[in-house]
Amino acid sequence: MENIVMKIAFFQSELTWENPAENRKNIERYFRNTPQAIDLFVLPEMFTTGFTMHPHEVAETLDGETIGWLKGLAAEKNCAITGSLVIKENGKFYNRMIFVFPTGKVAFYDKRHLFTLAGEDKIYTKGEEKVIVNYKGWNICLQICYDLRFPVFVRNMEQYDLLLYVANWPKPRINAWNALLKARAIENMCYTVGVNRIGTDANHLEYPGHSQVLDCMGMERLNAHNESGIFCCELDLLQQNAARDKFHFLNDADRFTLD
């Protein structure tokens, strides 16, 4: 069934270092206090642990406790939930963005661009596939943090409607976060949502938030700045389609293939 208006909410908060139980408890408290019906709830990157390079200590499986917990919350609120966590599969570790439908169906995207500056590429296995999920008539492209710096992979050749980035993006480079989110929205002519965390992690990295929603012209619809909580916004597919019909910039994009 197609939804012309997508009611989206995202969670911005501190994360307790490598403590899935405590983070689930905190997220659930906020989630249950969401004051309105929502279609999609977005969590940050590695929302159960923070951006850890210790997957042996915290990794879960697709049959694990957090996935079951997400399914329960999605069914309770009749909404989809997405965010990334550390997943172990076939002896390998992935920074995996999970998308849980209200029915309990699970889709996922494995982070393609691993953050070499932190050694993520030495510990995690990179994804190869671009993933676009269809939910309530919206085509949604899933991306994780460092992916934001690489526009070719996410180029909107599929006419997707919504681009989601979940992140642990630190304060020294927050100007890039703000600029690149706007660029991705404009060049792909789609709603773009970036969800970051706040607080300080065990590596003494500070995260300033700036989770935000941008429309297809790059105009800011919502910015959480450095606040903690649940933030809600309505996205209108008819408005976006009208802008695309008027300007049809996507029709003039170069065609290419990726190695």
Which DSSP category does 120 fall into? Answer: H
State pLDDT tens for residues 226-251.
999 999 999 999 999 999 999 999 99
* Residues in contact with 106: Cβ distance below 8 Å, sequence separation at least 6, in sequence order: 62, 67, 71, 98, 99, 100
User: Residue 3: what pLDDT?
Assistant: 79
User: Residue 33: what pLDDT?
Assistant: 85
Task: Give the catalytic positions in this structure.
Answer: 45, 111, 145
Model confidence at 25: pLDDT above 80: yes
Superfamily covering domain 5-251: Carbon-nitrogen hydrolase (3.60.110.10)
Q: Alpha-carbon distance 239 to 245, whole Å? A: 10
Which DSSP category does 64 fall into? Answer: S
Strand partners, 12: 229
How high is the mean pLDDT of the chain?
Answer: 96
Model confidence at 255: pLDDT above 60: yes
Q: Taking the model in full, what pTM does it have? A: 0.97
SS3 225: coil
pLDDT, greater one: 203 or 258: 203
State pLDDT tens for residues 140-176.
999 999 999 999 999 999 999 999 999 999 999 999 9
State pLDDT tens for residues 70-99.
999 999 999 999 999 999 999 999 999 999
For residues 109-125, average pLDDT: 98
Banded model confidence at residue 256, pLDDT cuts 50, 70, 90: confident
State pLDDT tens for residues 213-229.
999 999 999 999 999 99
Banded model confidence at residue 1, pLDDT cuts 50, 70, 90: low
The domain locations on the chain are 5-251
State pLDDT tens for residues 38-56.
999 999 999 999 999 999 9
